[in-house]
Amino acid sequence: MTLELNNIRVAYSGKTVIRGITVKARAGELIALVGPNGSGKSSLLKAVTGLIPHEGQTNLPPDTRTRASSLAYLAQDATAPVRRKVRDIVALGRTPHIGPLGKLTSNDDVIISDSLSRCDMSEFSDREFGTLSGGEQMRVHLARTFATQAQILLADEPVTALDPYYQLTVMDALRGYAGKHRTVITALHDLNLARRYADRIWVIQDGILVKDHLPDEALDIETLAQVFRITPDGQSL
């Protein structure tokens, strides 16, 4: 599914933080959303998810429940009750597809097992969430977003607090989820990871989308200097 954003604007307490972003993300693309701290990455993802008031249009269904089944969101500060079992947490990803009483079908069980497997978490299925490391917990959250089977997945800095090994496994899982038919947009701080995994990179600065290009074009010398205040070899300017 192609995600279309048309003139998205977000303001908090009179201060505009997203200033009219119009852009498209196509099916099968993994897009890295990069920009300095406070540039508006999280606000854009929250606005598209429908978590904060915004102006402008998207091509997502307006109904909250229908939207929830076509768009999955992984929050930056994702949390879960420490004593809940990993499988029970991943099962919550099926919420948009199940009835008001929360009953899971055998098809839901298959999807949950598949989501755990995609994130290499099958063997942790019966472990309590609080007993896992930070990297394992992030993969549980990722499996939960996968279980929604949404056509679009938005992840807000999913690898920021992880060591290099888990950063790569999470990015691999996101790449695998996008496949050929789904769209993944992930906010990242690590520009090397963005270059390595993204099909396209959106660079955002002060709430304005300044680049929507292939990785090498998006992160050219000029953009690195003007937006990130660094040189191509990582020195600060």
Partner 1 sequence: MSARLWTVSLAGLLILVSLLSLIIGPTAFSIAEISNGLLGRGDANIQTIMQDIRLPRALLAAIVGAGLGASGAALQGFTRNPLAAPGLLGFSACAALGAVLALYFDFNALITPAAIGLALLGALAMTGFSRRKPGASGLVLAGIGIGALATAVTGLVMNLAPNPWALSELVYWLMGSLKNADLLDVAISGPLTLVGLTLLCLSGPALRVLGLGEETAQSLGISVARTQALIVTGCALCIGAGVAVAGAIGFVGLFVPHILRFLTGPDEARLVPLSALGGAIFLVIVDTLIRATSGPGTPLYLGIVTSLIGVPFFLWLAWRQT
Residues that bind partner 1 (CB under 8 A): 46, 49-51, 64-65, 67-69, 71-73, 75, 77-81, 83-84, 88-89, 92-93, 95-96, 100-102, 144, 148
Q: Which is nearer to partner 1, 69 or 117 (CB)?
A: 69
Sheet holding 15-25, edge to edge: 15-25, 3-12, 55-58
- Alpha-helical (H) ranges within 4-159 are 41-49, 64-70, 86-91, 106-118, 134-147
DSSP characters over 134-172: HHHHHHHHHHHHHHTT-SEEEEESTTTTS-HHHHHHHHH
Q: Which is nearer to partner 1, 136 or 199 (CB)?
A: 136
- The Cα diameter of the chain in Å comes to 57
Least separation in angstroms between residue 82's CB and partner 1 is 8
Q: Which is nearer to partner 1, 85 or 213 (CB)?
A: 85
What is the rounded CA–CA span in Å between residue 149 and residue 154? 12
Do the beta carbons of residue 53 and residue 37 sit within 8 Å?
A: no
Q: Which is nearer to partner 1, 4 or 128 (CB)?
A: 128
Q: Which is nearer to partner 1, 158 or 223 (CB)?
A: 158
Least separation in angstroms between residue 101's CB and partner 1 is 6
Least separation in angstroms between residue 220's CB and partner 1 is 34
Q: Which is nearer to partner 1, 49 or 186 (CB)?
A: 49
Least separation in angstroms between residue 20's CB and partner 1 is 24
Least separation in angstroms between residue 50's CB and partner 1 is 7
Q: What are φ and ψ of residue 25, in 5° steps?
A: -125, 125
What is the rounded CA–CA span in Å between residue 84 and residue 224? 43
Neighbouring C-beta atoms of residue 70, cutoff 10 Å: 16
